[in-house]
Structure 1
Amino acid sequence: MAQEEEIRYYVRIGTTDLDGTKSVRVALTGIKGIGRHTSTVISRMAKVDEYAKLGLLDEESVNRIRAAVEKYATSIPMWMANRPKDLYTGENKHLIGGDVALARDEDINMMRKIRCYKGIRHETGQKVRGQRTKSTGRTGTTVGVSKKKEGGQ
């Protein structure tokens, strides 16, 4: 009878705790900035079976995945980056983890500062991407159609 392997329920990669009960390619999507395609590329770069459970991998394989996540941004073509032509530096970047939210907040603040249409919409809390606002996205008190009073002219 084979000896049962001990599973690690949480595996720390970067600044994120990943679920060790999921496969490598699914668990890696728990890191912000890494989607399904990116996780597949990272697992192939690390030479790890993408369908193996992350918690059952040995420490050497997990370290290879950590290294692949760190060097991913420098080893991909431009079209795979999630931040091509960065506004401030002009470089092609792939942001991972907390950097994604930080860059998003910086972009919104820049739009507010230059007073562009999207920045003003962000400031006022309205929808930004051209959605309908007549009937949806209402906040505060209820606004709607009121019935006319009958009988009193």
Structure 2
Amino acid sequence: MSQEIKQIVRIGDTDLEGMKPVAYALTKIRGIGISTAYAICRYLGINPTLRLGQLDEDSVRKLDWAVRNLHQFAPGWFVNRPRDPESGKNLHLIGADLVFYAKRDVDLMKKLRSWKGIRHNLGLKVRGQRTRTTGRLGMTVGVTKGKTQAGGGGGK
């Protein structure tokens, strides 16, 4: 008996390819990486190498629930927003929520005028990278050396 494979499956407000294996299809959801996808499959007892389009509606519903509520069964160190500053709970954000919270965190840093907020405001590197040669904007392509001082050795 050949089972019909769905081409597109909607999980976590994201359209996923039905021809891909479950674990790799789940990684297309923003906030879900390969380790998280395998953990979700292991928790639900779903074969991660099975094609996503071959799953029945009940399994797809379970996957959708698990993706949205990962913080309920995953340990605190596994989620992407542990100890949320507002609620104090461990959260795992996906999709548009992840983008929204990241932007809100940056805006808070800017408002508080923290060091990272000031760097964000100026459009400079935030995490301690060097800025002498990288991260330049505009037309600057190369840097020419100025005249050397005494003993430069420049001939006619």
TM-score, with structure 1 as normaliser: 0.87
State yes or no: 1:108 paired with 2:106. Answer: yes
- What is the count of residue pairs matched by the alignment? 149
> Following the alignment from structure 2 to structure 1, what is the Cα–Cα distance between the partners of residues 75 and 13?
25
Structure 1: any 5+ residue segments left out of the alignment?
none
Q: CA RMSD in A?
A: 2.0
Q: Which amino acid aligns with 1:18?
A: L
1:17 — aligned with what? 15
Structure 2: any 5+ residue segments left out of the alignment?
148-153
User: What's the CA shift for 1:122?
Assistant: 0.6
Q: Which amino acid aligns with 2:144?
A: V
1:145 — aligned with what? 144
- Sequence identity, in percent? 46
Q: Which amino acid aligns with 1:107?
A: D
1:74 is paired with a residue of what secondary structure?
helix
* Residues 74-113 of structure 1 aligned to structure 2 (within 5 Å): 74-113=72-111
* Equivalent pair of 2:26/2:32 in contact (CA under 8 Å): yes
Q: Where does structure 1 differ by over 3 angstroms across 4 or more consecutive aligned residues?
A: none
Cα displacement string for residues 96-141 of structure 1 (whole angstroms, at most 9, x for unaligned residues):
2211111100110000000011111111111111111111110012
2:33 — aligned with what? 35
